[in-house]
Amino acid sequence: MSDIDIRIAGRAGRITLTRPQALNAMTYEMCLAIEKAFDAWRADDTVQIIVIDAEGDRAFCSGGDIAELYATGTKGDYGYGRKFWADEYRLNHKIFGYPKPVVSFLQGFTMGGGVGIGCHGSHRVVGESSQIAMPECSIGLVPDVGGSLMLALAPGRLGEYLGITGTRMNAADAIYAGFADHYIPELKWTNLIAELEATGSIEGVTQSAEQSDTGTLEGQLDKINALFAGERLGDILTLLKTDGSDFAAEALKKTSRNSPLSMACTVEIMHRLRGPSLTLEKALDLEYRFTFRAMEHGDFLEGIRAAIIDKDRNPQWQYADQDVPLAAVSKMLQPLGPDAPKLQETTP
């Protein structure tokens, strides 16, 4: 497959995304190929470590390749998208619980589906170009691929803030928010990967880690906690509108571009996840409740039309006044029963 290079190098199972011209966007075929490799390497004693990287300077993985989702969904075929998401979430779950070290190198943009591939492993490496974000609300989805787990675990109300604004995190912010582990200057990555292949040991990662440049999130946390503590989207928007600060104005500007239904469901997902019962399985189940319905009942197809197809940047969202009824949120997040994702299955 020309979009991805999967091989064994020394003691490492190696996965390299090779679509730099498309910012390494994840296709369905790439997703299945990665899962097949993880399944094969689980019991292969010659593979002691998994290393995931990507070609190009601009992106590790900018997200999922959504053109096919749009093409099928606009014809009334929702099955393809539902299968894509179910299989993708199964892979995310597999990476999260993998019994061998999984090291990912996250240069440039790591967003959406890229977070699902790159941010569930045991050792997540960022560098000076790293920009990590969950911008799904801008296309009528919710933060998914297990990203809602990291958002719910992030300090304070960062989950709501990052989830409904899609704010990008640099290396320091990504480490602070729990999306990455180690900052290593990117000039060192090639030699480090060669060492990982030769030794099969993750010691080189921890030994190479350095202090990153400063981020902004930690210094903004008190304000974020105050402004994003509302129980519902409407509460948060009211706090932002009455605050008067530049920070609040910028957050409002970002939320004004996004699907109100998606944002309202994101806030609800954060609140349902937090607490002692938080697991990745619960996060993926809630995410899939939304994505399963996103084409038929949500704003996903309109979001893709405005952003990718017509590129008019003028989506006609449901609830454009940002007053989302509780019933609409409940409808999107109802349990799916037999359609719930089967996370324990192996590659079909």
* CATH (domain of 97): 3.90.226.10
Task: Judge whether 47 lies within some domain.
Answer: yes
pLDDT at 67: 83
* 53 catalytically annotated: no
Contacts of 12 (CB under 8 A, 6+ apart): 47, 48, 49, 50, 51, 196, 197, 200
Task: Judge whether 261 lies within some domain.
Answer: yes
Overall number of domains in the chain = 1
Task: Judge whether 346 lies within some domain.
Answer: no
Task: Judge whether 270 lies within some domain.
Answer: yes
Catalytic, out of 88, 136, 173, 195: 136
Pairing of strands 4-9, 12-17: antiparallel
200 Ramachandran zone, left/alpha/beta (phi>0; psi -120 to 50): left
**Is residue 132 within 8 Å of 119, Cβ to Cβ?**
yes
Domain hosting residue 278, numbered range: 4-339
Catalytic, out of 63, 81, 113, 121: 113
* Spatial distance between the Cα atoms of 270 and 101, rounded to a whole number of angstroms: 28
45 Ramachandran zone, left/alpha/beta (phi>0; psi -120 to 50): alpha
Task: Judge whether 348 lies within some domain.
Answer: no
* 310 catalytically annotated: no
Structure tokens at 229: 């503590």
Task: Judge whether 280 lies within some domain.
Answer: yes
Exposed/middle/buried for residue 337 (C-beta within 10 Å: 0-12, 13-18, 19+)? exposed
pLDDT at 1: 58
Catalytic, out of 13, 63, 64, 116: 64
Contacts of 249 (CB under 8 A, 6+ apart): none
pLDDT at 346: 61
C-alpha to C-alpha distances, 39 to 42, 44, 196, 243, nearest whole angstrom: 5, 9, 20, 51
- List, run by run, the mean pLDDT of 10-residue segments along the chain (348 residues): 92 97 94 97 97 97 88 94 96 97 98 96 98 97 97 98 98 98 97 98 95 92 97 97 96 97 98 94 98 97 94 95 97 96 74
pLDDT at 345: 65
C-alpha to C-alpha distances, 55 to 17, 18, 75, 118, 255, nearest whole angstrom: 6, 5, 34, 14, 32
* Spatial distance between the Cα atoms of 286 and 61, rounded to a whole number of angstroms: 23
pTM for the model: 0.96
pLDDT at 275: 87
Task: Judge whether 345 lies within some domain.
Answer: no
* 136 catalytically annotated: yes
Task: Judge whether 347 lies within some domain.
Answer: no
Establish how many alpha carbons lie within 13 A of residue 95's alpha carbon, considering only the half-sphere containing its beta carbon.
30
